[in-house]
């Protein structure tokens, strides 16, 4: 009797489509901005203010009426009276009229009447007799200051020079970030700039991780022949943390139907997604299929991918369950090509962020690679940089090796229709 096969394998695209059809988006919650790093926006962000919300100086210098400086140069400097000093954080109530100016620091508000700032480096100031200065004022007003200074200007400025206009960075009422944006430190900075102190974000995906297989033992246990330490729980849980999920470590279960079924029933309701990493023993898959037939719906058994063929997709009590192969390489490959898209779908992450093209680098393949027609292949590669040029070196395939995968920097996707990648070919590497 020949071993039973998988029946017809579904393609990776079909598998993703099947998952898409029953994944429900996560609910959302309000968090303080200080806890929003790595979270995904659940609503568009419309700016409540303009940034800056006042006209401000881009330089240390003097706020002037630009036309007062026209024609100024080293031999024919212009002279203005300094009527005030505005430091950042202050406001001046003194309007600028012709022949007058105000000392201003970077970030300080431009006083009324001024339309440009001349850089301090293009000027010189000196203390004048304040009385005589006052008498020269065009508006004729009396000043109470005991001293005033004269500014000598050696260069002209045009209207608008060194003035940052209201809303030049962010206009009040405009869309700043779309729903589905994953927040990094630069984005939270922008939210802070608008004075936003709390935002709505998607709940973190709660993902259960269960390892099965009679050969798998937890660290700390004595190592006997035939047994191996659990790798996948660690890798999957940490990969989930890297992807900002909340993993639940459901531990190890032997290939025992009652135990496995109870564990699934006990935990499925607390998870948004359940990952079951199978041992490589033949028994696990059969047990999984039996359990699913009793309490759920088997949607996919076997995907045309390499590695990762014996993958199971099921729906148990309405929740998505992915049965990953026991081989660490296969489990991790499935994580990147199958689990990650599901997580991003749940979070409503913008499609263009699902595979940000920026994190795909091009490299020259350092040897010929033969693949299989009809199967998508996930090929882990290490990037070697030689004289500034990037080479993609495929790491060992088809084994349970974990160290080689650890040294990989990313992976190449070889499509179902590709049989050979030639040495020297430029390949696109998705970084881990």
Positions in 402-431 near its own copies (CB under 8 A): 402-406, 408-410, 431
Across 115-127, b (16+ Cβ under 10 Å) vs e yields: bbbbbbebbebee
Residue 308 in the binding site for its own copies (CB under 8 A): no
- Least distance to its own copies, CB of residue 187, Å: 5
Minimum CB distance to its own copies smaller for 50 or for 296: 50
Residues 6+ apart with CB under 8 A from 221: 227
Number of residues that bind its own copies (CB under 8 A): 105
The DSSP secondary structure of 112-140, one letter per residue, reads TT--EEEEGGGEEEEEE-HHHHHHH-TT-
Q: Which of 15/51 has CB closer to its own copies?
A: 51
Asked if 7 touches its own copies (CB under 8 A), the answer is no
The reply to whether 107 sits near its own copies by the rule CB under 8 A is yes
Q: What are the tokens at 30?
A: 């309000």
Instruction: Name the minimum Å distance from CB 127 to its own copies.
Output: 9
Contact flags string 324-343 toward its own copies, x per CB under 8 A: --xxx---x-----------
Three-state secondary-structure class, residue 67: helix
The residues facing 85 across adjacent strands are 103
C-alpha dihedral (266, 267, 272, 278), degrees to nearest 10:
-120
- Helix-then-strand count for the chain, H and E: 10, 28
Q: How far is the CB of 26 from its own copies (least distance, A)?
A: 22
144 binds its own copies (CB under 8 A): no
Applying CB under 8 A, among 7, 27, 74, 91 the residue interacting with its own copies is 91
Among 132, 269, 357, 417, binds its own copies (CB under 8 A): 357
Among positions 239-268, residues that touch its own copies (CB under 8 A) are 239, 241-242, 249, 255
Which of 7-15, 257-265, 278-286, 295-303 is the region at the interface with its own copies (rule: CB under 8 A)? 278-286
Shortest separation between residue 18's beta carbon and its own copies, angstroms: 26
Nearest of 281, 253, 264, 249 to residue 320 by alpha carbon = 264
Kindly give, in sequence order, each residue whose CB lies less than 8 Å from that of residue 127, ignoring residues fewer than 6 positions away. 147, 148, 149, 150
- Positions 163 through 222 that interact with its own copies (CB under 8 A): 164, 168-170, 176, 184-197, 213-216, 219-220
281 contacts its own copies (rule: CB under 8 A)? yes
**Minimum distance between the CB of residue 403 and its own copies, rounded to whole angstroms?**
5
Instruction: Output the CA angle 322-325-329, nearest 5 degrees.
Output: 115
| 56, β-bridge pairs | 109, 164
């Amino acid at each position: 009797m020949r071993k039973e096969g998988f029946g017809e394998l579904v393609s990776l695209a079909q598998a993703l489509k099947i998952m898409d059809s029953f994944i429900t988006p996560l609910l959302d919650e309000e968090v303080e901005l200080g806890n929003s790093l790595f979270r995904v926006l659940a609503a568009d962000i419309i700016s409540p203010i303009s940034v800056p919300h006042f006209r401000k100086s881009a330089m240390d210098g003097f706020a002037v009426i630009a036309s007062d400086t026209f024609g100024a140069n080293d031999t024919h400097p212009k002279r203005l009276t300094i009527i005030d000093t505005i430091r950042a954080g202050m406001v001046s109530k003194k309007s600028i009229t012709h022949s007058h100016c105000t000392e201003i620091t970077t970030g300080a508000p431009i006083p009324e009447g001024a339309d440009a700032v001349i850089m301090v480096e293009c000027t010189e100031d000196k203390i004048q007799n304040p009385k005589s200065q006052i008498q020269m004022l065009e508006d004729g007003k009396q000043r109470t200051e005991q001293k005033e200074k004269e500014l000598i200007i050696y260069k002209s400025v045009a209207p608008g020079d060194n003035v940052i206009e209201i809303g030049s960075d962010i206009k009040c009422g405009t869309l700043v970030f779309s729903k589905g944006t994953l927040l990094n430190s630069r984005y939270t900075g922008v939210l802070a700039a608008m004075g936003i102190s709390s935002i709505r974000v998607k709940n973190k995906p709660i993902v259960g991780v269960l390892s099965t297989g009679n050969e798998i033992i937890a660290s700390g246990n004595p190592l006997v022949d035939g047994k191996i330490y659990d790798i996948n729980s660690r890798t999957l849980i940490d990969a989930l943390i890297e992807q900002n999920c909340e993993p639940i470590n459901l531990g190890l279960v032997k290939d025992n139907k009652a135990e496995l079924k109870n564990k699934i029933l006990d935990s499925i309701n607390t998870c948004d997604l359940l990952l079951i990493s199978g041992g490589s023993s033949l028994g696990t898959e059969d047990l999984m299929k039996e359990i699913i037939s009793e309490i759920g719906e088997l949607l996919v058994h076997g995907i045309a991918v390499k590695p990762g063929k014996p993958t199971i997709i099921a729906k148990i009590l309405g929740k998505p369950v992915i049965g990953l192969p026991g081989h660490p390489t296969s489990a991790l490959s499935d994580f990147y090509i199958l689990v990650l898209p599901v997580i991003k779908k749940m979070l409503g992450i913008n499609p263009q962020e699902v595979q940000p093209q920026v994190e795909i680098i091009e490299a020259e393949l350092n040897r010929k690679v033969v693949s299989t027609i009809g199967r998508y292949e996930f090929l882990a590669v290490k990037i070697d940089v030689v004289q500034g040029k990037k080479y993609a070196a495929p790491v060992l395939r088809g084994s349970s090796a974990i160290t080689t995968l650890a040294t990989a920097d990313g992976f190449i996707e070889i499509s179902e229709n590709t049989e050979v990648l030639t040495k020297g070919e430029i390949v696109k590497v998705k970084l881990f």
